[in-house]
Amino acid sequence: MGKVTTAYLLTCAAIGVAGGIVLAAGWSLSLAMFVTMPFVSVAIAGLWVLPAVVALRLLQRPFAGLLVGLISGLVLAPFYTVSAVATTLFWSFFPELPFLATLYRRWATWLHYAGAVTIGIAYPILAAQSFDLWSMSPPLLVGFIALCAASCVGGTALGIVLADRLRAAGVARLARHRATV
Amino acid sequence: MTSASRGADAATAAASAPQPVLRVRELGVRHEGADADAPASATFDVRRGEVVLLLGPSGAGKSTLALALNGLIPHAVPATLTGSVHVDGLDTAMTPVAQLSTRVGMVFQDPDAQLVTGTLLDEVAFGPENLRIPVDEVLARGEDALRRVGLWDRRYDNPDLLSGGGRQRLAIACALAMGSPLLVLDEPTANLDPQGIEEVYAALAELVTAGDRAIVLVEHNLDAVVAITDRVVVLDHDGRTVADGTVDEVLRARAAELHEMGVWLPISTIAALRLRSAGWRLDPLPLDSDELRAALEAEDAPATVTPGAQPTEACSTAPSGRSYAREATASSEPLIRVRGLRTCRGRREILHGIDLDVAPGEFVAIVGANGAGKTTLLQSLAGVVPVPRGQVTVDDVDVGRTDLRTLSRRIGFVFQNPEHQFIAATVFDELAHGLRQQKLPHDVVRARALEVLRRFGLENKADVHPFLLSGGQKRRLSVGTALVAGAPVLALDEPTFGQDRARADELMHLLSTLSAAGTTILVVTHDMQLVTEHAHRTIVVGEGRIIADAATPEIFADDELLRSAGLRQPPLRRAFAGVTRHPELGGITRLADLPGAGATVVTP
Amino acid sequence: MSAAAVDPWASAAPDDRMLAGLNPLAKLVAPLPAIVLLVFARDLATPLWFIALAYAVVLVGVRLTARTALLMFAVLPVAGLVIGLSMGLWTDPSKVDGSTVVAQIGGWTLSGGALLLGLATGARLAAIVALALIAGLTTTGPDLVRAGVQQLRVPYRVGYTALAAFRFVPRFGHELDVIRQAHRVRGAHGGHGPFTALARWWGYLVPLLAGAIRHAERVALAMDARAFGAYSDRTERHVVPWRRRDTVFVIAFWLVSGGILVALFPWTF
Ligand SMILES: Nc1ncnc2c1ncn2[C@@H]1O[C@H](COP(=O)(O)OP(=O)(O)OP(=O)(O)O)[C@@H](O)[C@H]1O
Ligand SMILES: Nc1ncnc2c1ncn2[C@@H]1O[C@H](COP(=O)(O)OP(=O)(O)OP(=O)(O)O)[C@@H](O)[C@H]1O
Ligand SMILES: [Mg+2]
Ligand SMILES: [Mg+2]
């Protein structure tokens, strides 16, 4: 693991834990929504991409998003069982995807949004499969997808603002530093 | 064993050991994004078995230097390094941190930030395990290290169960287990109560007597360390070595010069400097309470001193505790009234029935061991934690019923960590926030905020992000935000935490001035000298109860009480309490009460 | 339930029952195929069978505490039922068998088919949780990490990062409390309603993250100073072996899962 510094690993852990604490609140909110009105619960889907977006934007290092996803899942696991890890990894994979595709050569802002749109559309389709939403009426289904996409884009925008503020506050210098020896 | 003889031991040891463990030459470090080197040019050596104390004003680069000693700078921290650091002949710029870790052990300021695993034994084993040392030897090293700091019996406990001092001793054990001949400690006792500090230095003293480890210590609290120090290296404001020698050569011979530079000295030494300016000879200069007492006993008072006259003059800004307390309780209605206060956090009751009255304009210190409930008490008064109705009133307002906005106009609260309470993106907005909430006109807000900025020396930082300020500046800003709204009560949680003594002093003088102007001040702190210097009244908290509540001098007169609460006598009191030859000095506890206090050596 | 109540380092209560003696990975891997395949099941019987299987394994293999009993016999069934009912309400009536009517309010009817479909979803989610309990109830964080490092060859630095993260949880939870108090004292974002609440939470995020990252950096320096990552492996004092019984457990579980799935064949293509 030559070039990966401890500061990078632990900074991702910190973002993951802080994200997990926020998600724990979001999760119960979305569960409550899910129980009553399943499709509205995706309105806060953007919350799930937030930690990964913050990490990628702030650190601009490969795999930061996935690592943060893994950690926040582990933190949530005692409350929401091991499936939490799968969930958060899934949600963190998409913010990471555009950068992976460009082999981490570019860190342009629009790439963040590209990831957001991808998951905003992919998730409702996958969710429809697992919750069997295909049986819903079509307008409801379209609204479901639109809501989810909008939420993911919104979450990404918030993540970008948050990361930029943190950077303005001089945070995470160590993690951006590359190991020299 | 005296410091002088220890210095001599070290000198003979130096003659026989050819190569120093540590060799620092013209070291300059510039942090990424900084515009100057700090330290700028540090040069010194450390030999086996030596204890070297590193001093310098805040911002001189002591912490930065410590990070450079085991290669964290430049390998882990983004900074450029000039000059050289050699450990056992290895150039740190070319050697990986992991390899250096077997030669330099590190103990940092925050004990929590050094814990990785779940039991004490796992914790000491963590380092050796990383080095692929066989299991048997890992265990042997772990046992040895834990025994040396007196924690072996607790090896299966979770480190979270240890007190602050215990955790810091554990950190020392972890550094020892690496087997390194050099130990570097950066302010290892900054947030500990006096008993914890004593524990840590007892553990270090043990190591020193064993004589097999060299130690580099960065510490503001000199009273605790001079006893084990061999040599002193002093950096100036820019981080250049200006003094390097034995305790006698540096601390005793150049004390006045160091004091001038803003480097803090042991309280007893500062006291002695003041006495000298009042005509006492005191040669050699004493470095701790015992030496000061002995020196005073050995000497006649100078003819110029008129006993009893100076003290009252010198402390005109802060009336002496005893007389003040009487005056206050007799004359006015209490501003803060607490009756049977029981505060819970979660399901646990932390405070078990507190009764308390504070009169307007009082300066009250709240002291006690780590975890005693000081923070909880202070937060209950300010309504920061929910309190039951009818138990706390501030300025005739029931804290349990009022919303915080109304309350925040009556009581300004300063949290232990200033970063927690910053809510704006610039220093100016941070100050303006409270004023804007009062719906004051724009130009009034501006004028008042700028006035506070000037008063706190932050006028050229108005547009900076609060997080980018230095530690001392952050603290001043947080105090500024608390008092800009003009609250009649100010509550501060460990305002001197993480500050060097010069800044602590500056802040406390500001508070004393505010207090003299009528503001009621409540302070939680671990610094007993500071309490004696400034507080009219002291409240000792232990296990969620008030153990004692009296005028400050009365509290510190009761040694048994202090010890049972995990506290200790402030050094000055310890020195003067035993002086029999000069009864006029007998009751002195504050620097301000010393003859000669008005002379040149007073800190700005 | 507060985050601080979870101690990832607590060694498992001395439990001589079967599950505690298994490798954590075995407990994770055994129910995995069933969990994945359940996502695609649509009937009610399959998830109910798997719930029964999971409960059987847990009851045999774990010493039951009041907390787990509450979780298994109250929280989980109720949650599954509620989710099932509400899913039933939102199902498009035209896509299900509407011949039996369970409830009718005005022009809207809840058909038996819709209810059945909803309950199937609820049971499916409950079954997934129940299967996850097999690992969840008897595995401690450090053991899982050790197994990951020893059997799966996960780089130990990543494993220890995860462990350090567990240590951060109570600290950051506490830090968040303090930040909330501090902001309340400053009178920031007073008032009620969902939008001020959102603005309030937004204001906590920067200080929380900044403090969290600063702490992480300090811990990282302290770990580096103790040779963390010096080599590609490190001395292991605690061995978490993979034994024959782990293999037996996994294969047996897979066989039973396969048996249930083949017998019920819950997929419609
Ligand atoms: N990460 C950093 N990035 C930029 N500048 C830094 C960083 N850390 C420290 N500095 C600056 O380097 C200088 C030296 O800081 P350092 O913390 O070493 O001082 P110090 O002597 O330990 O002070 P104190 O007694 O207050 O602890 C200061 O001016 C500080 O602002
Ligand atoms: N948020 C919280 N939840 C639960 N318990 C808490 C919380 N904060 C503090 N405590 C507990 O309350 C007790 C008193 O804590 P408090 O912070 O008031 O002590 P303190 O005297 O300020 O200590 P220190 O000198 O270490 O700052 C401690 O035992 C602590 O563990
Ligand atoms: Mg420092
Ligand atoms: Mg406290």
User: What average pLDDT does the segment B5-26 reach?
Assistant: 64
Tell me the Cα Rg of chain C: 24
Residue A175 included in any domain: no
DSSP for residue B595: T
pLDDT value, residue C16: 58
Residue A176 included in any domain: no
Same domain, B554 and B447: yes
For residue C4, give Cα distances in angstroms to C173, C175, C215.
8, 12, 18
pLDDT at A50 over 60: yes
Number of neighbouring beta carbons within 10 Å of residue B333: 9
Is the Cβ pair B468, A173 closer than 8 Å?
A: no
For residue C99, give Cα distances in angstroms to B116, B427, C121.
62, 69, 20
B214-271 pLDDT tens trace = 999 998 888 888 888 999 999 988 899 999 999 999 998 898 888 888 787 888 898 8
Cβ of residue B403 closer than 8 Å to a chain C Cβ: yes
How many contiguous H segments (helices) and E segments (strands) does chain A have? 7, 0
C89-118 pLDDT tens trace = 776 666 666 667 667 766 666 777 778 888
Is the Cβ pair B75, A180 closer than 8 Å?
A: yes
**Domain coordinates of chain C in residue numbers?**
3-139+242-264, 155-225
For residue B286, give Cα distances in angstroms to B9, B527, C129.
20, 21, 70
Query: Structural domain tally of chain B?
Result: 3
Is the Cβ pair B76, A165 closer than 8 Å?
A: no
* Closest residue, chain A, to C175 (C-alpha): A18
B237 lines ligand 1 (CB under 6 A): no
B412-442 pLDDT tens trace = 888 888 888 888 889 999 999 888 888 889 9
> Subunits that touch chain A (at least 3 Cβ pairs < 8 angstroms)?
B, C
Is the Cβ pair C9, B106 closer than 8 Å?
A: no
> If you count residue pairs, one on B and one on C, with CB atoms under 8 Å apart, how many are there?
154
Are B213 and B207 in contact by the 8 Å Cβ rule? The answer is yes
| Ligand 2 atom nearest residue B376's Cα | 18
pLDDT at B26 over 80: yes
**Residue with CA nearest ligand 2 atom 26:** B370
User: What average pLDDT does the segment B319-336 reach?
Assistant: 55
For residue B282, give Cα distances in angstroms to B38, B247, B252, C220.
36, 17, 11, 48
Same domain, B445 and B424: yes
For residue C263, give Cα distances in angstroms to B470, C256, C266.
69, 10, 9
B442-461 pLDDT tens trace = 999 999 999 889 888 888 88
Residue B132 included in any domain: no
Q: Which run of H or E residues covers position C104?
A: strand C101-105
Regarding predicted confidence, which is higher, C141 or C23? C23
* Closest residue, chain A, to B95 (C-alpha): A181
Return residues with CB closer than 5 A to ligand 3 (ion): B 63
Same domain, B364 and B462: yes
Query: Structural domain tally of chain A?
Result: 1
Is the Cβ pair A181, B75 closer than 8 Å?
A: yes
Residue B125 included in any domain: no
Number of neighbouring beta carbons within 10 Å of residue B98: 20
Cβ of residue B96 closer than 8 Å to a chain A Cβ: yes
Domain ranges, residue A23? 6-170
Q: What is the Cα–Cα distance from C117 to C113, expressed in whole angstroms?
A: 6
Q: Give the three-class secondary structure for B351.
A: coil
Q: Which residues pair with B184 in a beta bridge?
A: B106, B216
Regarding predicted confidence, which is higher, C240 or C15? C240
User: What average pLDDT does the segment C36-61 reach?
Assistant: 87
Same domain, B348 and B469: yes
Tell me the Cα Rg of chain A: 16
Task: Give the angle subtended at the CA of B44 by the CAs of B38 and B46, to the nearest 5°.
Answer: 125
Cβ of residue B497 closer than 8 Å to a chain C Cβ: no
pLDDT above 70 covers what percent of chain B?
90
Return the closest-CA partner of residue B388 out of B348, B346, B355, B339: B339
Residues 248-267 of C with CB under 8 A from B: none
Return the closest-CA partner of residue A68 out of A83, A57, A78: A57
Are B354 and B361 in contact by the 8 Å Cβ rule? The answer is no
Tell me the Cα Rg of chain B: 25
pLDDT value, residue B359: 92
Are B216 and B68 in contact by the 8 Å Cβ rule? The answer is no
Cβ of residue C188 closer than 8 Å to a chain A Cβ: no
Residue B156 included in any domain: no
Half-sphere exposure of B306 (CA within 13 A, CB side): 4
Same domain, B7 and B40: yes
Q: What is the Cα–Cα distance from B522 to B394, expressed in whole angstroms?
A: 13
pLDDT at B161 over 70: yes
Residue B425's φ and ψ, nearest 5 degrees, are -95, -10
Which residue matches tokens 């601390």?
Answer: B251
Is the Cβ pair C237, B346 closer than 8 Å?
A: no
User: What average pLDDT does the segment C242-262 reach?
Assistant: 92
CB-based pocket (< 6 A), ligand 2: B 193, 345-346, 348, 350, 368, 370-376; C 174, 177
Q: What is the pTM of this model?
A: 0.86
Task: Give the angle subtended at the CA of B550 by the CAs of B533 and B343, to the nearest 5°.
Answer: 105
Structure tokens at B415: 């949290």
Same domain, B533 and B493: yes
Q: What share of chain A is helix, strand, coil (3-state, %, to 5)?
A: 80, 0, 20
Residue A91 included in any domain: yes
Q: What is the Cα–Cα distance from B333 to A109, expressed in whole angstroms?
A: 62
Identify the top-confidence range among A25-34, B91-100, B194-203, B274-283.
Answer: B91-100
For residue C59, give Cα distances in angstroms to A83, B512, C63, C143.
21, 67, 7, 22
This model of the complex carries an ipTM of 0.88
Domain harbouring B207, CATH code: 3.40.50.300
B38 lines ligand 1 (CB under 6 A): yes
Min Cα distance B516 → chain C (Å) is: 25
Residue B331 included in any domain: no
* Closest residue, chain A, to B77 (C-alpha): A174
Cβ of residue B515 closer than 8 Å to a chain A Cβ: no
Domain ranges, residue B491? 336-570
Are B320 and B553 in contact by the 8 Å Cβ rule? The answer is yes
> Subunits that touch chain B (at least 3 Cβ pairs < 8 angstroms)?
A, C
Structure tokens at B9: 């031991």
Are B394 and C185 in contact by the 8 Å Cβ rule? The answer is no
Q: Which residues pair with B542 in a beta bridge?
A: B545
